Structure 1
Amino acid sequence: MVAGATLLSRLLGFVRDVIVAFTLGAGLFADAFFVAFRIPNLLRRLFGEGSLTMAFIPVFSRIREEEGDEAAQEMARSAMVWLGVILGGITLLVMWLARPLTMVIAPGFIDNPELFDATVEIVRICFPYAILICSVALCMGILNARDHFLAPALAPIILNVALIGAALFGYYFGYNVAYSMAYGVLIGGLGQWMLQQPFLKATGFSWRGVWSWKNKGVIRMGLLMLPTVFGAAVYQVNILLSTLLASFLPVGSVSYLFYADRLMQFPLGVFGIAVSTAALPSLSKLAAKGEMGAFDGALRSTLGLTMFIAVPSAAGLIALADPIVALLFERGAFSPEAVVATGSALVAYSIGLPFIALSRPLVAGFYALEDTKTPVRIAVVCLVVNVGAGALLMQSIGHVGLALAVSLSSMLNWLLLYVLLMRRRKSQLIALGSAVKVVAVSGCVGVGAWYSVAWHPWWVACIPAWVAFYLLAAHKLRMPEATMVVDLIRARMRRKRSEG
């Protein structure tokens, strides 16, 4: 369910990018909007979806298990009050200090008064979105902890629709598109919030009731959030430093890495993040109940399913890197040379795709055990490795070295997370036999896909055949993940027939 909603969101995001490029272009007001929107987005990444939800779900699940549903609801209401007060204060401060803040994040705009003033005004319009989206993240945590995933997964679609509508409205009615989109951000945030409310009510949750400034659950959540916020900051610094290194390379290097990363993030977002999102509430409940044998089994299944999807995805991207880039981007100013350069970066990124995907369930496992410090410490180590390896490799293989450094640091991140969690649980979390089968069959798929490139343009039509071959081979080899997927499809089909 999460994967399907994420896939729809990613496709709609692509449509949004096309429409925004058509209506807003790449001029002065486009620069102003993109820079201004980056500020509330940064707050969302630091305090919203990742850190807040990850810290909230384990605490909420434990209180619900030990003290009952009403105590858990009191904790959620108290968290929302604190969230509103803190983010409301930050919002007022940002709106007051919008000019100096814009000087910090975009000092190059100072020489262009029109651009600078537009950015300041758009910051003031769209920054309250941070309050809305962080509140949505709390609603997502409540719903996920109650085993409801559809509404939270659909939330990004609402923002995409709002931005598309705002861009088209401004363009066709003669308004400034950048300002229209700034108000569209607020409308999208409000729409995301409203979407969650009927589903919260259906689960029995109500915002009306007892709350407390001194709720122990909120205090515990805050303590767990501190490391996760720091971890999110480490990730943002990682991106910043990688971009900084790429700026020393020939013109176009940053763009090659950007487009390659967008392609790599597609399977990662649709499948890798979806699996870990769905796993965290279950792991948190099992940890709260003290059912650690079931916890290990659920984590083992999650890792197995992630590997079952991520490894063949990586093999396919590596084999078809250049033709995929050419199919999607080779038009206009995007030259054949850019295709080759972007394809090389995609190959380097894809090497690390399975390790990035496998790290997410492991992080969810640590968070379910209410340990948010260990993943952050490991992230800091991997940040140093990524920057060091990138600075070294870029000397010989340019931008491909930076992409390869990301893959190497991702491997180290997975290895450290896996070893430490396995030692803590004293349990083997990945079945070696299944891993060997997945790698072997994925290798066959990759080789076949690579040979199919010569059948241009029929290589695209061959992709479903490679997927079918992989699933059939996995079923014949009796991989448990293949059985799991087949059982899920059969169960969904039986449910539809019974509803019909």
Structure 2
Amino acid sequence: MTAPEAHATGARETAGPREAQREPEARAARWTEERAERGTSEHATKEARGSERAAGSRETQRELEARAARWTEERAERGTSEHATKEARGSERAAGSRDTQPAVRRVSVGRAAALSAVLVAGGTGLGFVRDLIMAHTFGAGRDTDAFLIGWMIPETASPLLIEDAMALLAVPLVTRALRDRGSARPLAAAVLPPLVGVLSVVAGALALGAPALVAALAPGLASPDDAVRCVRAAAVTVVMFGVAGFMSATLRAHGRFGPPAAIYLAYNAGIIASILLLRDRWGVLSAAVGVALGSVFMVLAQLPAFVRCLRPAPRALPSPATALLPAAVASVAVFTLARQAQVFVERFLGAGLAAGTISELNYAQKVAQVPMVLSLLVVTVTFPRLALASAEDDARAVRDRVENDILHVSALVLAATAFLVACGGDVVALLFRHGAFGADAADGTARILRVYALGLWGQTMVGVAARAFFARRGPMWRPALATACGLAVTVAVGVLGVRLWGAPALAAANAAGITAGALLMLAGVRARVARIRFRVLARGLARLAVAAVAACAAGLAARDAVAAPLPAALLGGLAVLTVFALVALPRAAVLRPPSRFARRTEGLR
């Protein structure tokens, strides 16, 4: 190879690596340029998107500010409208109150209960005078059995239309009407006319169907014709009791407890007057006519106060509570009738026993019910407050109210149970052993009374639990179901025991059935109404039960020291009261409202 060729070849070899080196550099340059272009493009895109987002956010912010401004204006308008409405309602109520007295009167629970107790005790005492006159005049035989079949009409209508159903329905309705409108007049105008119409139809049906009713209730009765006449005379009470019951509920919701508590004074006065004036001419029918007359007196006794408490108010549309009235009436009516059916079972099964058995059951029941009625005055007075707490959905106030009612009522009724078991024979002899009411009738009534007394706690707890249920808005069917279960227990025990033990077995069936129903209702209160604390209640009730047993033993020992009924009853009663107080009251916390600490730790119990 010549020198020039070698030089050319070396140049080509030298140029090859240089070209190879330039090619990656060119690629890198192109990649850098492309990346720069892409970066510029992406940056421009991001800037464009950012500008769009900024513009959108400014528009969104302006839109939100506009919405907030509109919402503020609407809220201000609503507030102004509501304020104006409240001022208008307040002006209407103030205008009405200038011409009338205040609708609701604030009263002390203790004072109202004491006043009611005095008047009810007076009515009960007059009722014993009535029964004493009945026992002295007619004894315990076929005539009184016939009257007591007719007596079942007011006996059923009274809890249905005065004490239980009507009160459980009307007191919450009137309480809500007073809270919402300041007057119960529109409610009274809407309820009373149809109430009177319906009850008039019922009374007419009872009068027309009296023969069939007597045959169904007491198939073995010795004097069915007298019973038919008594049923027809007593049918008037259905209408009068309904009116009197609505008046009582309205007055209690207004804080006026005197006239409602005095109705049984008027009632028994009418019966006594009729017996004394007509007994020689009409016999036992005079008592049935007196029942009708006494029911009219019940209305007249409350009429002045009822008219005064209905302050003027513009007519308003029916409230939701009024719209639910038919369903609520049905639930309360079924509950009350299932409870009262205990008496139907007794009369039906007792009709096949010896003559006078139904009368003995009736007299024993009347004596046993006195402490129950007096103890339930506590919840009668507190019921409007319970209804108001339920209307305001204050669960804690409802729970505390129910717990307090259970403990206070239990203390009263268990002390009375101890007294009746220990001294029931002396009480019956003192009240009824006169004239035609002989020693055998008194002994039979006393045996029944001691057994009846064992069911008093169940009777009162049914009353307490029922008020807790029906203070709520709308129908409540659990009380009716619980009472129906208790009635099934009564029927089973009565059918099985009446052949072996006679009338005392019927009293035992009553006590067992009503106690079973009470326990079911208390469980329902905890499940559906308020979380009452069973552990707290169990401690208090256990102590009260121990006190009742000790007091009963002391009463039995004390009354055996004397023979005459009056000293024996007084001495036994003093012993019962003393021992019960000594055992039950040292730890009076069982009767106090729950403490603040207990309220705070309610979730741990």
Displacement, 1:441?
Answer: 2.3
Tell me if 1:16 matches 2:140.
Answer: no
Matched, 1:402 2:506: yes
CA 1:24–1:312 in structure 2 vs 1: closer, same or farther (change >3 Å)? closer
Structure 2 residue 273 is the aligned partner of structure 1 residue 165: yes
The question of 1:135 aligning with 2:254 is answered no
Q: Note the C-alpha offset of 1:294.
A: 1.2
Residue 459 of structure 1: which of 560, 568, 588 is its match?
A: 568
Measure how far apart 1:286 and its partner are: 0.8
Cα deviation for residue 375 of structure 1 reads 0.5
Kept in 2: contact 1:37–1:127 (CA 8 A): no
Matched positions, count: 470
C-alpha separation in 2, matches of 1:46 and 1:428: 30
Q: Which runs of 5+ in 2 are unaligned?
A: 1-114, 595-605
- How far does residue 412 in structure 1 lie from its aligned partner after superposition? 1.4
Inter-partner Cα distance in structure 2 for 1:467 and 1:157:
28
Distance 1:477 1:157, change over 3 A: same
**Distance change in 2, residues 1:305/1:247 (3 Å):** same
Matching residue within 81, 93, 106 for 2:214? 106
Cα distance in 1 between the residues matched to 2:257 and 2:155: 22
Q: Which amino acid aligns with 1:224?
A: A
The residue that corresponds to 1:443 in the other structure is 549
2:182 equivalent among 54, 69, 75: 69
Partner-residue secondary structure (3-state), 1:148: coil
- CA distance in structure 2 between the partners assigned to 1:16 and 1:32 by the alignment: 17
* Alignment partner of 1:319 is 2:427: no
Distance (whole Å) between structure 1 residues aligned to residue 246 and residue 337 of structure 2? 20
Deviation string, structure 1 residues 327-379 (Cα, Å, up to 9, x no partner): 44445665655555443333322222222222211111011124531100011
Mapped to 1, the partners of 2:505 and 2:287 lie a distance apart of 37
Question: Does structure 1 residue 266 correspond to structure 2 residue 379?
Answer: no
Residue matched to 1:82: 194
Q: Which residue of 1 aligns with 2:588?
A: 478
Structure 2 residue 400 is the aligned partner of structure 1 residue 286: no
TM-score by length of 2: 0.68
Which of 524, 531, 554 is the equivalent residue of 1:420? 524
Instruction: Answer yes or no: is the 8 Å Cα contact 1:29–1:115 preserved in 2.
Output: no
Find the counterpart in structure 1 of residue 118 from structure 2.
4
Distance across 1 between alignment mates of 2:465 and 2:364? 25
Distance in 1 of aligned mates of 2:224 and 2:493: 37
Letter in 1 for 2:492: G
Q: Which moved more, 1:386-395 or 1:42-51?
A: 42-51
Report what 2:252 is aligned to.
144
Whether the 8 Å CA contact 2:140–2:436 is kept in 1: the answer is no
- Mapped to 1, the partners of 2:155 and 2:552 lie a distance apart of 37
CA deviation string 1:392-431 (max 9, x = no partner): 2335433333222222222211221112212332331553
The structure 2 residue matched to 1:226, chosen from 317, 321, 330, is: 330
Could you say if the C-alpha distance between residues 398 and 38 of structure 1 is closer, same or farther in structure 2, counting changes exceeding 3 Å?
closer
Q: 1:291 to 1:186 in 2, by over 3 A?
A: same
Residue type at the aligned position of 2:581: L
Give 1:152 shift.
0.6
Q: For residue 5 of structure 2, what is the aligned residue in structure 1?
A: none
How far apart, in 1, do the equivalents of 2:506 and 2:273 lie?
A: 37
CA distance in 1, matches of 2:234, 2:384: 32
CA distance in 2, matches of 1:121, 1:399: 26
Indicate the residue corresponding to 1:361 in structure 2: 464
Aligned residue type for 2:350: A
Deviates more, 1:22-31 or 1:399-408: 22-31
Q: Distance in 1 between matches of 2:292 and 2:236?
A: 7
Q: CA 1:184/1:433 → structure 2, altered by over 3 Å: closer, same or farther?
A: closer
Residue identity in the other structure for 1:290: D
When residues 399 and 88 of structure 1 are mapped into structure 2, their CA distance, relative to the original with a 3 A threshold, is: closer
Letter in 1 for 2:315: V
Q: How does 1:330-409 map onto structure 2 within 5 Å? A: 330=433, 339-370=442-473, 371-409=475-513
State the TM-score, normalizing by the size of structure 1. 0.81
Contact preservation (8 Å) 2:140, 2:356: no
Query: 2: CA distance between counterparts of 1:36 and 1:290?
Result: 43
**Matched residue SS, 2:498:** helix
Greater RCO structure (CA 8 Å; 6+ sep): 1
Change (3 A) 1:175 1:256: closer
- CA distance 1:151–1:209, change in 2 (3 Å): farther
TM-align CA RMSD: 3.6
Q: Give 1 or 2 for the bigger CA radius of gyration.
A: 2
Q: State, as a whole percentage, how many aligned pairs show the same letter.
A: 21
Deviation at 1:26, TM superposition (A): 8.2
How far 1:307 sits from its partner (Å)?
1.0
Larger mean Cα displacement after TM superposition, 395-404 or 301-310: 395-404
Report the secondary structure of 1:320's partner residue.
Answer: helix
- Give 1:455 shift: 0.6
Q: What one-letter code is carried by the residue in structure 1 that aligns with 2:462? A: S
Instruction: Specify the alignment match of 1:238 in structure 2.
Output: 342
* Equivalent AA in structure 2 for residue 233 of structure 1: L
Tell me the distance in 2 between the aligned counterparts of 1:88 and 1:211: 27
Alignment deviations for residues 218-267 of structure 1 (CA, whole Å, 9 cap, x no partner): 33222211022122322343322233333445565444433332321121
Quote the Cα distance in structure 1 between the aligned partners of 2:501 and 2:142.
35
- Displacement of 1:300 in angstroms is 1.0
User: Given the superposition, is the C-alpha separation of residues 282 and 444 from structure 1 closer, same or farther in structure 2, using an over 3 Å criterion?
Assistant: same
After superposition, give the CA deviation of every residue in 1:97-141 in whole Å (9 maximum; x if it has no partner).
84x41221235999xxx995x877776666444322211111111
CA distance in 2, matches of 1:119, 1:242: 17
Inter-partner Cα distance in structure 2 for 1:180 and 1:255: 17
Residue type of the alignment partner of 1:410 = I
CA distance change for structure 1 residues 454 and 478 in 2, over 3 Å: closer, same or farther? Answer: same
8 Å Cα contact 2:136-2:434 kept in structure 1: no
